[in-house]
Structure formats: C-alpha cells, structure tokens
Structure 1
Amino acid sequence: MTSQLLVPIAGTFAAYLLLQLAKFLYEELTSPLRHLPGPTGTNLVLGHFRQIEMDSAITSKWRDEFGPNFQWRGLLNKRGLYTTDTKALNHILVNDYLYQKGPVAKKIVTHFLGNGLLAVEMDEHKRQRKILNPAFGVPQIRELTEVFNEKSAQLRDIWMRQIAEDSGSARIDVLVWLRKMTLDVIGQAGKSWIETYPSFNYQFNAMEAKGEPNELDEALTHLFHSPQAQRQAALRFVQAAIPILGIFPTPGGKLINQARRKMDEIANQLLTESKAAVRAGGGEKAGRDLLSIMVEANMSSEIPEHRKLSDADVIAQVPTFFVAGHETTSTATAWALHALSMNRSAQTKLREELLGLPSDNPTMDALNSLPYLEKVVRETMRVHSPVGFTIRMAMDDDVIPLSKQYVDRRGKVYDSITVRRGTVIRIPIAAVHSDKDIWGDDAAEFRPDRWDHIPEATNTIPGVWGNLLTFLAGPHNCIGFRFSLVEMKSLLFALIRAFEFEMAVPEGGIGFTTTPVLRPTVLSEPEKGSQLPLIVRPYLASQN
C-alpha cells in the first residue's frame, strides 16, 4: 500500500520540478533583467537566499560592487531587481495597484495577522485605510501622549530600582524592556478613553516583574527574538514560496497559532465591549481610539454598507496594531540608546535640552518643539532604520524610470528598467539611508547635527516624514508613524533625563538580524537571540 502511494507522489514531485525547470529556462532566455549586472555564485534552488540570510551586510557589498541597480536571485533562482534609485522607488511605491506585496509575503502576513491593513491590497486596502485614518490623526496622538509618558516613567522607575539593587549601575538588556513597555502602551492606547469606560482598558502589565507570565509577550519573544527566530523565519519564507513544501509542519507554527489565538481573544473581547459602549452612548461618540472609530462606523446608519468593516476585518486590525506598533518602536528606541551610548557628546547635548523642559509629563507639542530631540530621532531612523527592507512584486509588465542612467553588461546605456510581471523588487530602506551619493561620505556616521543642513539630494527620497524612507511612501505608507515617533520621543525624554548609557560590549560587537525588522544582536552571543545590553547608571547633575 505504501509503495502504491509513493509512485503518484514521486510523479507529482517530478512534474513540479520539470515545470519549474521550464519556467527557469524561459526566464533565463527572455528576462529583461538578464543583462543587468549582479552577483554570481547562485544555488539552483535557493538562489542568493542563503547568502542574504547568513550575511546581513551582503546586499550593501553588492551595491558597492554593482551600483544602485542590479539583479539578484531569489528562491528557485528567479531573477529579482534591487534598486536604490529614488525615482524608481517613488514609481514603485506610488503605483500600489501595479506593485504589491505578492503572494508569498501576503501568505506569511495573513497567516499571522489576518486580513488587516498590512495584508490587503488595492480597493480593500483603500477602504480599510479610509476608515482607520482618523484613529491615527494628530488629535488622537496628542491625547495618547500622557499614556506614553506614564509607561516611560514606569520603565524608568523599574530600571532605577534594578540599578539600586546592583550598587549604582547595571547591565540592562534595553531591548527586552522596551518591548515590554511598548506592548503595555499598545494594550492601553488601543482603548485610550479609559476615564470614561475604565473596564474597557486592556492591561498587559508586561513590565510588572512580579506579575503572571504574559502569554502574548512570551509567544512574540520566541517568534522574533529567540536564537531560532531568524532561521525559522527564513524557513517559513521558503515554505511559503515553494508551495509543495506546505506538506511539512510550519517552523514555529505552534507559536504563531498561540500568539494569533491570544491576539484574537483580546480583539474579540475589546470588540464586544466597544459595541456595548457605542450602544450605551445613545449615538454619542464613545471614543476616538482605533476600535471605537471602527465600531462606530460599522454601527452607523449614515455610512453605506460597502464602507463598513466586517467583525472579522475589525478583529484583524488588532494583531496588526500589536505587532507593527510594538516591534518597530521598541527596536528603533533601542537603536537610539545604542547610538547615544557610542556618541557621548550627542547624549550629553540631548540631555541638556531635555532637562531644560520644566515638566515630567510633556505634551506632544512640547516634545515636538525640541529641535535636538527631533534630530536624534531622525538620525536614528536613518542610521538604524528599524525596518531594513521590504518587498514588492510587479503585477504586470512595466517600465521603471530612473534618475540616473546605468550601463548593462554589454556596455549599453539605459535610463529605465523593464520588468516583467512576477518580478520581485527589493526596496532597500536601510541602503537608501546610507547611500553616499545622497548623504555624503560620512553617511555611515551617527551625526544628529547633519540635519541642520542635509544635502539637496535627500529631497528626492520618497517618504511621508523627515526626508527618509523609514515609513515608506505612497498609499501604503505607515499609518501609525505619528504614534511611533511621539512614543519614541517620550521614551527618550524619560530615560535620557534619568540615566547615562554606556556600551556594554566592545565597539563593533553589536550586529543585526537579516529579517525585515533589523533587531540588534550581540555578535559574540548568537545563542541569546536578539538583545541590546547597555551599562546604565543614574544621571547625577551634581557630578557632571
């Protein structure tokens, strides 16, 4: 019986391999990218995937060797396009109907987050975005600033107690604590109108050392920060890209399901309570937070049905909010503290500015009025962009315009690049931010004062904030960028005023993962996964 089953399975697998071989040969002979320069040494099945997965700096090395436009090989050795040309990137990001995430990225995101804003495309994305936009406006972030300040102060006090127990200074993994803080903020900010409806606030209490283990925090830690996290993420990508591998268990599948169940459980609870609050309000607005706005829109008789979200769509936004808002802001703030620990003069200058503000609970407008804090945040987002790259796929044949001509392998000059439907394009956010042609020869340096006079070339970078690609551009730009920036400023305000930060490992000892979110790691301690240890001691004005 077993041998009878093996014959059709083997035949199916052989047919699959022959089909892929035929596609590969056709691509090799006809691809419009075939004359682009690019690295060699590919694997027939993995392409350059393993090189990219093992070496976080490999694409930067290729850019230095081949220029801003080159081809690389993805899974099954398929040609892809890499470009740091800002005119090309703007074209790709603005034309969101033509350039989308593609089936592989969509499959991965949907599996974990559901059909929320990060997963959907085209008209569905436009519809969800229109409903969600009011929840991330300036008035909402202004109200949430007090939540940011409260949780930042709580983290400050926890570190202060830890330092007292360690006799004046402590080696603290700032990344793990910042992740706990941002998770607590998400839980509270998701229902920001707690004074009116206090029972609807979801408290994670991730920073409470004596509290019960936080199920969601633990699942996210294992998924994104454990020693196995990077390899499991790579395997999930391979499995999603090669459908036949779907017969095998998904790496980290149990943890994904655990995290998804917990996020859906929280979302269902909050959705039920939000509906009850809207009904109890008798038509009055119950709140201006994320869930309230969606629920009120869904229950309003003035809004047509096609502009409403189903309960499933509403629930799908909550995991998106948890993961996107939680991971990127904590990572960015950790990198900021790392950069300031290496540039002590910048740390001192920032502290002097922050201490000059006569308040322990600054408003959003007060935080945004501090010029050096703004420069530190911008420089952190440039040198240590929390998201290093993203991927787009051409949904149809297209011609991508370029700001600068390039010469192909045959010596022919082009001012555009032709791509075929299905071509995968790597959007290298971090590479654009370190491009010497844009930023100058000191592009790799963390120098906040550069923002007093940034090069004119930076005006060509597509983006919604700060002459940077950090939050992307076009219709799919990050909806929560204001939330992230003010939360980060609140954290730096509380922590830099209270502490001095020094490096805990030798210079050059901190690396980063090859995943889209560039999480810090200690190169000599890969077995510990993502971490960022710093020496932290109280700032004593009388001794400085």
Structure 2
Amino acid sequence: MDRILNINLPINTANVHGPLTLLVSGLGFLLCFLLAILPSAYSRIKYLPLPPGASLIWGHEKAVFVGQPGSAFREWISNFGLTFRIKAAFGAPDILVLGDPIGITYLLQKKVFDYHHSAVVRPRVARLLGKGLGWIEGEEEHRRMRRLARPALTSDNIKAMSLDITEAATRVTKDLVEFVQNAGQKAEVNILDWTGKATLNIVGRVAFLHDFKAGNSKEAQDILNARKKGVSAIAQYIGFLTLMLLRRFHFLNYFPIAAIQGQGLAKRTIHVGVAKDLIQRSQTLGNEGKYQDQKDLLTRLLLAASEERITVSELYEHISTFIIAGFESTTTTVGFSVWELARHPEKQRRLREELAAFGREPTYDDLQNHAPYLEAVLKETLRLYPGLPYIERVATKADIIPLHQPVQLADGRVSHQAVIEPGQTVIIPIIAVHRQDSVWGDGDTFRPERWLESLPPQEQLCSGWGKMLAFSDGPRSCVGTHLAIFNYKVIMSSLMNSFLFEDPNVTMRLKISSSLQAWVHRDPDDPGRNELPVILVPTDN
C-alpha cells in the first residue's frame, strides 16, 4: 500500500499511516466489543454463576490456556461451585462448565450422542488423528465402527498377545540400556523419546502385525518427529491465539496456518507411508486366503473394506487414528510416571520391590492382578496428568442435566439441574475435577498410596475407569483402554527392571496441545520444549 501511494500520490504516507492504523484498530476494537457484548444479552445460561475478570476479547479462555492447565477451573470451582458459565473468546456464546460428577456421568453415559464435538474440536480431531472412531458422530455409526475394533482389543485378545507386547517393549529397553552405558555410568535422557518408541513398537506389533524395529525404522522416526513438531506448533502462544479465533471464525480451520495445519503432520505422515504399505501387504495376505488366521485390528478393518462396510478412504483414517491414539497417551503417561518416581525415591523403591518380588519377568496375570502398587502408580499418574485435560461438547438437543451439588442461580434460587438448549457448548474440565482438594485433600500431590486406602464417597467421584475420566466414560470411552493399561504396565516393568530413575532438577510446566504435554525451560531465556528429562542409572539386572 505504501509503495502505491508513493508512486501515484505526492503526499507523505507517514502522515496517512498513523491515522489509518488508528482507524483500523478502532474499528477492530469496536467489532470485538460488539461481538463480546451482544451474545451476553441472549446467553442461554445467564442464570448460572459467572466468574469475574473476563477479558473483553479473550473472555475467560485466555486464563484457561495461558495458566497451568486446570488451575483457573479449580479456582472458579472453589468460588462458584461445580457448575457455572464462562465467557468465550471473541464474543462467542457463553460456555457451560460442568464439573459435577453426577452431571458428567449423565452426559457421558446416557446422553453422549446428543452432545457432539464442537466446531473447534471436531476439525482438530480430524487433523490430529483422522476421521476415525474419535471423529465419528451419531450413535448408529459410532457403534458400527466400535464393533469392528472391539474384538481385537478385548482383554482375552490382549492376553493372547502379551508375549508379543513384552518383546516389543523389551527391544526398546535394551536399546536404551546400550545408549546409557555408552554414555557412562548414567545419562540424562528425554524419556518421552523412548516411551514413544516403545508404545509405537507395541501398537505396530499387536494392532497391525508390523515391525517398527524398536522405533528405529525410518517410518517410525518420521511419525515420532511429526508428532513432536505438531505438539510444538500448538503449544506456543500463537497456538492459543489461533484456537481462540476458531471459536468464532470456523472457516480458519481450512487456512494454511502453521499452528492449525501442523497438528496434522503425524496423520499425513502415516497416510503416505506406513498406512499405504500396511494396506498393500495385507491385501496380498487376503488374496492368499490368510485373513482368517489373523486377529489383529488391521485385518478386521481390511475385512470390513473387502465387504464394503467401510471405504478405502475410511480405512486410511482408521489406521492413522489407532496408531496415533494408541501410542500418544501411553507415551506421555509412562513419561509422567517415570518423572514422578524420579522425584519420589521412596515410592520408586516401593514399586521396584513389588516388581522384584515376582523373581522373573512378570506375566500378564502378574501385572494385571498381582501388582497393586503398579496399578496405584498408574491411577495416580492419570489423575494428575490425564491425556485430555478437558472435554468439549455441543448440545444438539434441549436437555436437563441433573446435578449432585446444587447451583445458586442469578435470582437467588437453588437448583439441582442445568437447563440446556441446542447449540450450548459444554466443557468438562477433567484435570480440575481430578485434582480437587475438596475431594482428595492434597489434589496436586503425587501419592499413589491413596488408591490403596479408602476412597472418597462415590458421589464425589466420576464413574469412568479408576473413578476418573482419563479414558472418558460411557459408550464413547476409549475402545483401547485394556491395551493401553497393559502396555503401560509392561513398559514400566521393563524400565524399572533396567534402571534407577534420578531427578535432573529442572522445572517442568504443563501445556495444552490438544492433549496434555510436558514443557521444560532450561533457563529464563529458553522458549522451552516438549520433553521430560530424567537421569537413568543402569541396574545390575
């Protein structure tokens, strides 16, 4: 614009640029102001409590994203109860925050198909995972796809594959032992790099009969690197700005914005690489009549495709969904467990003694039924670090959500229900619900022993696995829960058998990058990176 003005008009553009900027800024501010105040008059849930301090532009959402995940929600829950509303960014309609366990159970178990992914979340799921089981809406379609996957992920089938799972984890642990020994008596590693290799190796082996070569194959490295780049793009502050814009301007989902499209790197890498190879290889087995000999997930999907129950395009989407979802959550959960055990030597010692008491490599039955402290460590890790820090849904129908804790309405009345109209966005703040001091007494403390003691009253707890929401709840809960739990236990057992964990004394913060992620800053000027550094010392085993 300045160049055009200089060529064609004999005026000083500097004199124009200042007022023009002020004019545009003023108009932009006015637009944001109007967007912010107009929906308030028509808020469907204006009867609910509203925390103070909302930004004119960002509403309450900046506080949710910029602070430690869950901290803002916990403060609001302490002051306003378990059910309230917050202002959305850019004047989008108010958001209902549902932290009441009875209300959460009702929504997720009884009415989840009436509450769809929001226009912010659903495109993100498609980019991150693919248009697979987590993306599909509608009860009939979702149940149809879940029936395809469930037989490959039952506890009986996982038990039958337990030796393969153990071998896949052990291969990565052996590589890690060699790496640390070559570095000397001990070494600091980013444990996420190695837990990522282990979980990807297991998922490849048991779900797709594919060897990722202990996470060292080119395709495995491509997937892991793409995942890391995608996490970094969205965890930065610009990622927050972009996501908030999506709340109001959905069309931005399709713009070439790095913080948005970077989320799809891992999925695209899988589609053009390993998914194509898997399909071609398995089609050869099908032509040879060997489908019936296999019980893995890919074979079931290929059979469905051959019978035209799913399209080839859907097949690609399901492969990327199960690979990424299969390794992402377990990668971080094992990482957070190792991190916490490094910081709590007495708890690490107790777990080590429990596993050593087997006197051999633990079997499926050992890990699932005779390692109570290992399960307690898993539950405590998931309580503090749920893979999804919150769930966001939009009501497609009018509804009345029952509540255990009454809510005081704007007119002073007290109600045990929340009245919902179609189009209402609902957020379930999982990490805040998991960490409530009013429930646990010490919500931020890593204390696995709590799971071996008397638990709080059921009405204060959720009804998902482990009385939590780490795997969600109801008919849309994680279909791979049994596999994820056993994978975790196998990898933890293998690492505990091979290493002592020591604290590197660095500061770790949590960030939201669709899922919950660790972020470490080495010094004040360091922008930080997605890692969990731990010092490993080889044992004599």
Q: 1:141 Cα shift?
A: 1.4
TM norm structure 2: 0.86
Pairing of 1:145-544 with structure 2 (within 5 A)? 145-192=162-209, 201-203=210-212, 205-207=214-216, 214-224=221-231, 226=232, 229-231=235-237, 233-241=239-247, 242-243=249-250, 245=252, 248-252=255-259, 255-256=262-263, 258-265=265-272, 266-281=274-289, 285-299=292-306, 308-360=309-361, 362-369=362-369, 370-439=371-440, 441-458=441-458, 461-505=461-505, 509-524=507-522, 527-540=527-540
Q: Whole-Å Cα distance in 2 between the matches of residues 53 and 366 of structure 1?
A: 41
Question: Normalising to structure 1: TM-score of the pair?
Answer: 0.85
Cα deviation for residue 252 of structure 1 reads 4.3
CA distance in 2, matches of 1:84, 1:540: 47
Deviations 1:459-510 (A, max 9, x none): 664444222211111111001111111111011101112211121125xx22
Q: Which amino acid aligns with 1:450?
A: R
- Report which stretch shifted further, 484-493 or 336-345: 336-345
Say if 2:436 and 2:443, in contact at 8 Å, map to a contact too: yes
Contact (CA 8 Å) 1:236, 1:251: kept in 2 or not? no
Q: What amino acid does structure 2 have at the position aligned with 1:249?
A: P
Write the letter of the residue equivalent to 1:69.
T
Matched, 1:120 2:120: no
**Counterparts of 1:32 and 1:523, CA distance in 2:** 42
SS class of match (2:208): coil
2 CA distance for matches of 1:25 and 1:229?
29
Distance 2:129 2:445 in 1: 36
For the 8 Å contact 2:226–2:269, the answer to whether it is kept is no
Aligned amino acid, residue 472 of structure 1 = S
| CA distance in 2 between partners of 1:252 and 1:385 (Å) | 23
Q: Distance in 1 between matches of 2:381 and 2:461?
A: 17
Q: 1: CA distance between counterparts of 2:264 and 2:438? A: 45
What letter is aligned with 2:285?
Answer: A
Deviations 1:180-211 (A, max 9, x none): 2222222223323xxxxxxxx24265347xx7
Cα distance in 1, alignment partners of residues 475 and 404 from structure 2: 22
Contact 2:50 2:85 in 1 (8 A): yes
Instruction: Confirm or deny: 8 A CA contact 1:274 1:292 kept in the other structure.
Output: yes
Pick which of 523-532 and 76-85 moved more. Answer: 523-532
Aligned equivalent of 2:98, options 52, 59, 83: 83
| Alignment partners' CA distance in 2, 1:188 and 1:228 | 30
Give % identity: 25
1:195 corresponds to which residue?
A: none
> Equivalent residue of 2:112, what SS?
coil
Aligned in 2, Cα 1:245/1:252: closer, same or farther, shift over 3 Å?
closer
Query: Counterpart in 2 of 1:33?
Result: 45
Partner of 1:100: 116
Q: Which amino acid aligns with 2:282?
A: S
Asked whether the 8 Å contact 1:108–1:237 carries over to 2, the reply is no
CA distance in 2, matches of 1:486, 1:472: 18
Q: What amino acid maps onto 1:334 in structure 2? A: G
Report the number of matched residues. Answer: 509
**SS of equivalent to 1:190:** helix
Q: What is the deviation of 1:339?
A: 1.6
Distance change (3 Å), C-alpha of 1:338 and 1:402 = same
User: Deviation at 1:24?
Assistant: 6.1
C-alpha displacement of 1:26:
5.8
1-structure distance, mates of 2:472, 2:130? 22
**CA 1:271–1:478 in structure 2 vs 1: closer, same or farther (change >3 Å)?**
same
Q: Deviations over 1:240-282 (max 9, x none)?
A: 4313546752224664565333211322321232233233226
Q: Which runs of 5+ in 1 are unaligned?
A: 4-13, 193-200
| Structure 2 unaligned residues grouped into runs of 5+ | 6-25
1:468 and 1:98 mapped to 2: Cα distance?
22
Q: Secondary structure at the match of 2:295?
A: coil
- State the distance in 1 between where 2:238 and 2:223 align: 18
Maintained 8 Å contact 2:189/2:535 = yes
Q: Match for residue 6 of structure 1?
A: none
Give the match for residue 63 of structure 1: 77
Question: Once superposed, which parts of structure 1, at least 4 consecutive aligned residues long, lie more than 4 Å away?
Answer: 14-26, 252-258, 523-526
Instruction: Name the residue aligned to 2:13.
Output: none
Compared with structure 1, are the counterparts of its residues 520 and 22 closer, same or farther at alpha carbon in structure 2 (3 Å cutoff)?
A: closer
Q: CA RMSD in A?
A: 3.0
In structure 1, the partner of 2:21 is none
Give the aligned partner of residue 12 of structure 2: none
Q: What secondary structure, in the 3-state scheme, does the structure 1 residue paired with 2:293 have?
A: coil
1:298 and 1:249 mapped to 2: Cα distance? Answer: 32
Contact 1:499/1:536, CA 8 A, preserved across alignment: yes
Does the 8 Å contact 2:32/2:57 carry over to 1? no
Change (3 A) 1:492 1:430: same
